[in-house]
């Protein structure tokens, strides 16, 4: 992972994050959605992956008490397969443990096999199916869960 650093997301990152989002998802979040997450740091945390000072990926997290949710993670198509998503997940797990989160969840499209593989490799396992959860195209979502070691 040469020249990759993970930093807290700032307003300066949002235009590029929105561009990556639009390239990666058929129903992308708006720039405003990302900005709203930045405005409420009590329960939302976002990190950005930078390569040579250029935004190449991001992760968005929700946390409340001992519950956490991975809301969104993406890496720009030209920077995939370089360990960036893994680095973002590692940072997320570190934060969640610091916040005493003991359980994380996420949803993933049934067709997104590469993401499912990454999540499984990181200890997530499927716990439910949400029928027709996604649109464009309509598709089921797999709910996955991971237990985190409780830190004292």
Q: In this structure, how many other beta carbons lie within 10 angstroms of the beta carbon of residue 98?
A: 10
Distance separating alpha carbons of residues 124 and 126, to the nearest angstrom: 7
Nearest to 122 by CA among 100, 143, 145, 97: 145
Q: Which of 80, 32, 38 is closest to 60 using CA atoms? A: 38
Length of the chain: 152
Taken in order 38, 113, 76, 97, the sign of the CA dihedral is: positive
Catalytic member of 19, 107, 139, 145: 107
Is 133 part of the annotated catalytic residue set? no
Residue of 21, 58, 69, 119 marked active site: 119
For residue 20, give the nearest of 70, 67, 72 by alpha carbon.
72
Largest alpha-carbon pair distance within the chain? Answer: 44
Catalytic residues: 107, 119
């Amino acid at each position: 992972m040469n020249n990759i650093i993970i930093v807290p997301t700032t307003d300066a990152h949002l235009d590029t994050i929105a561009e990556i989002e639009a390239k990666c998802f058929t129903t992308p979040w708006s720039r405003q959605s990302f900005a709203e997450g930045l405005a409420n740091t009590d329960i939302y945390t976002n990190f950005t992956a930078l390569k040579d000072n250029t935004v190449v990926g991001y992760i968005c997290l929700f946390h409340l008490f001992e519950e956490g949710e991975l809301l969104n993670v993406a890496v720009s198509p030209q920077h995939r397969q370089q360990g960036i998503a893994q680095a973002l997940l590692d940072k997320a797990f570190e934060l969640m443990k610091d916040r005493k989160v003991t359980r994380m969840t996420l949803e993933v499209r049934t067709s997104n096999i590469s993401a499912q593989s990454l999540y499984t490799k990181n200890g997530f396992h499927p716990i439910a199916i949400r029928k027709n959860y996604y649109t464009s195209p309509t598709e089921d979502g797999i709910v996955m869960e991971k237990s985190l070691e409780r830190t004292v």
